[in-house]
């Protein structure tokens, strides 16, 4: 079911500062800022040869990232995203196996313009998992 790692997401309290760190200190290529109102975040992707790092900043206090940053004020790893060929088939298989799909269970369009779903961290070794259809 799982394909390659698409990205690892890091919640940050200051997107501009985090972007500068990755770009200026680590020498990474970074994308332009994207605002994703449906997900309550602004994001920047750090482009790597074999994957990406997604830097996430909350849009406002209602964002799930804001709640994460309340518990982790310096930021930290938020989720890992795996690619899947068919997100509906993956969702249905996971539900049949007892995994919990977050939200209403229907895919939303993510930052790459593709359908995504999130899986409950308690079902996956304490890690929030995002699935993205390729």
Catalytic residues: 130
**Neighbour count for residue 103 (Cβ, 10 Å):** 9
Q: What residues contact 75, with CB distance under 8 A and at least 6 apart?
A: 10, 11, 12, 13, 18, 69
């Amino acid at each position: 079911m799982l394909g390659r790692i698409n990205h690892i997401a890091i919640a940050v309290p200051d997107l501009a500062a985090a972007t500068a760190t990755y770009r200026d200190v680590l020498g990474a290529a970074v994308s332009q800022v994207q605002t994703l109102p449906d997900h309550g975040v602004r994001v920047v992707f750090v482009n790597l040869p074999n994957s990406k790092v997604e830097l996430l900043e909350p849009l406002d206090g209602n964002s799930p990232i804001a709640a994460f940053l309340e518990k982790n004020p310096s930021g930290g790893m938020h989720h890992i995203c795996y690619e899947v060929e068919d997100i509906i088939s993956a969702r249905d298989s996971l539900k049949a196996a007892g995994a919990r799909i977050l939200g209403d269970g229907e895919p939303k369009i993510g930052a790459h313009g593709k359908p995504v779903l999130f899986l409950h961290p308690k079902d996956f070794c304490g890690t929030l998992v995002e699935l993205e259809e390729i």
